[in-house]
Amino acid sequence: MWVLGAALLVAMATLVIVGPAVMSRTSFTSAQLVAMSLGVAYGLLVALRSRNAHLKTERAYSTHLEELSQRLRTMAYRDVLTGLYNHRYFHEQLAHEIDRSIRYGQPLTVLLFDMDNFKTINDTYGHLVGDKFLSLVGQIVAKHIRSSDIGARYGGDEFAIILPNTNAEEARLTATKLEEAVARSAAMTPGEVAVRLGISLGYASCPDDSRLPGELIEAADRRLYEIKTARRSGSRALRETA
């Protein structure tokens, strides 16, 4: 509607301003000038509508490209199975968060964990059940970490979490919550058997353990291995005394 009004306004201005001068020098009648003005209005209407449609198309195309770009970024940084970030994004953000931790003098802790006996579950019930567990753990991680934390599937059945502004003691509380949440969960097999499992976690803090991303991951991985070894030794000792 505004396009039509603009076109008519221009045509009327043309008629009022130019009309008297044209009539004084030519044999055009008022009716002919009105018809010419309306022709100008129509031409402007067509041009403005075309331009408006073109702008709408450009905006729609720009929006589509932005949505597509966002989906591609999500695909590049998200793990499809768990919905968490992937290995690549984790390492990029870890370097960034360590720099920020050092710059502002704030603690940073990395949690690294994997599933206990995951290979046995895969071998016994199949990879579909294993995938159910991976997806389930991804949901648990997303539910129990803060919006400022960065949860990622590190690879296979390994997960990693960056906890900004968090010291080792605070990280242990988060680790305990995750362990308890996973222990309460279960995945169903095709035979409707509820399968449960646990996780083992290791942690490392910046700057206490290291200020380098690789060394921080190695420190967390060592603690994870120590915990798993201690648990296996404890289970073996219980079986021997039973």
- Taken in order 73, 78, 81, 83, the sign of the CA dihedral is negative
pTM for the whole structure? 0.70
Which of 149, 157, 209, 221 is flagged as catalytic? Answer: 157
The whole-angstrom separation of Cα 199 and Cα 60 is 47
Residue 99 domain-assigned (yes or no) = yes
Over its length of 242 residues, how does the chain's per-residue pLDDT go in tens digits?
Answer: 444 444 444 555 554 554 454 444 545 455 555 566 566 666 666 777 777 776 666 676 566 556 555 555 656 899 999 999 999 999 999 999 999 999 999 999 999 999 988 888 889 888 888 898 899 999 999 999 999 999 999 999 999 999 999 999 999 999 999 999 999 988 777 777 788 889 999 999 999 999 999 999 999 999 999 988 887 776 554 444 44
Residue span of the structural domain in which 236 resides: 87-241
- Shared domain check, 225 and 122: yes
- Shared domain check, 146 and 39: no
- Shared domain check, 100 and 52: no
- Shared domain check, 7 and 99: no
Query: According to the model, what pLDDT value does residue 239 have?
Result: 46
Tally of domains in the chain:
2
The whole-angstrom separation of Cα 80 and Cα 101 is 30
- Shared domain check, 231 and 116: yes
Query: According to the model, what pLDDT value does residue 127 have?
Result: 87
The CATH number that applies at residue 126 is 3.30.70.270
- Shared domain check, 55 and 146: no
- Shared domain check, 94 and 68: no
- Shared domain check, 94 and 51: no
Is 221 annotated in the active site?
A: no
Query: According to the model, what pLDDT value does residue 7 have?
Result: 44
Residue 168 domain-assigned (yes or no) = yes
Please identify, among 77, 95, 122, the residue that sits at the C-terminal boundary of a domain. Answer: 77
User: Shortest CA distance to 135 belongs to which of 76, 71, 72, 188?
Assistant: 188
Q: What are phi and psi for residue 158, nearest 5 degrees?
A: -95, 140
The whole-angstrom separation of Cα 182 and Cα 198 is 6
